[in-house]
Amino acid sequence: IDKAKEVELTEAKLSFFTNISHEFRTPLTLIIAPLKELLDNEDLPPKLYKNLRYIDKNTNRLLELTNQLLDFRKANHGLLSLEVFHGNFVRFAEEVYLYFQEAARAKEISYEFHAEEEEILFPFDRNKMEIVLCNLLSNAMKYTPQGGSIAMTVNQKDDECIVIVKDTGIGMQPA
């Protein structure tokens, strides 16, 4: 009986998150459209344009996170699949790294990206890897004190792509 109640509670939580995710998507979508229209205006002052680009980037990120919540629901029902393609992982990782550049600047954190090669062609699922890299960088940002440092490195060893995130935060306990 306890197991059945636990399963029922878990299902209720997942339904709640799915419903909330759908509710977040609508206003985010409604924000993105006029924001794109504003960004198309060539007469904007540079500072305003920069701030609008920052809002645009983060609004799109919120929409992606909302979609990821919906994907989580699919994964629990075995309906989620990988969408793997060969791409330049260095360029992709640097794009994700740039999501956190403003946050690093605001916390006065030295924030660096390194890659031994300009191109590492590697098969990966962009959406799933974005979740992984954002999680790593978000936690590094969260736990690195003001004035600290975070460095993200992407390298290739044989046929493997290696991502390293180092920071001066509190660290993780050994498993």
What does the pLDDT look like over 60-78, one tens digit per residue?
A: 888 888 877 777 666 666 6
CA of residue 159 relative to chain centroid, distance:
25
What are the φ/ψ torsions at residue 148 (nearest 5 degrees)? -80, -165
Q: How far apart are CA 82 and CA 135, in angstroms?
A: 18
Q: Which of 7-16, 33-42, 126-135, 145-154 is the least confident region?
A: 7-16
What count of Cα atoms within 13 Å lies in the side-chain half-sphere of residue 42?
A: 0
* Residue 89 CA, distance from chain mean position: 15
pLDDT surpassing 90 at residue 110: yes
pLDDT single digits (tens) 5-47: 888 887 787 778 777 777 787 788 778 878 888 888 889 999 9
